Amino acid sequence: MALPPFLKALEQNDPEFAQAIEKIVGLSMSEGALDPKTKMLIALALDAAHGADQGVASLALQARQMGVSDQEIAEALRLVYFASGNSILISSFAAFSQEG
């Protein structure tokens, strides 16, 4: 698997490092205990959790090209909200702390 588009500049700036990163991308995204579609959805979810809009758009496009449905994408994004949003709710309880 090639370098993600946002890392393409690395090929010119540091080709040796770019090759190392490309190997990591390949290792991370290739068939393994998890299938590539699942890995793509996890990557999309992580980008969404980090607010990487361009990454989310790019990964969603790649996922669709792999046969991932919009419903599968939506479910992955629901999980992101569930996992990330709960910490906001927990922290918000501090506003009502009786300790002051």
Confirm whether 62 is domain-assigned: yes
Confirm whether 17 is domain-assigned: no
% residues pLDDT > 70 (the chain): 97
Confirm whether 77 is domain-assigned: yes
Number of domains in the chain: 1
pLDDT tens-digit map of 17-39: 999 999 999 999 999 999 999 99
User: What's the pTM value of the predicted model, to 2 decimals?
Assistant: 0.80
Confirm whether 20 is domain-assigned: no
% residues pLDDT > 90 (the chain): 64
Q: What residue numbers bound the domain in which 46 lies?
A: 33-96
Confirm whether 19 is domain-assigned: no
pLDDT tens-digit map of 1-21: 677 777 888 889 999 999 999
Label residue 98 by pLDDT band (50, 70, 90). Answer: confident
pLDDT of residue 92: 87
pLDDT of residue 71: 98
Confirm whether 5 is domain-assigned: no
Confirm whether 80 is domain-assigned: yes
Residue 73 pLDDT > 70, yes or no? Answer: yes
Confirm whether 47 is domain-assigned: yes
In angstroms, the Cα distances linking 92 to 23, 31, 78, 82, 87 are: 42, 40, 20, 15, 8
- Cα-Cα-Cα-Cα dihedral sign, residues 75, 76, 77, 78: positive
d(CA 99, CA 87): 20
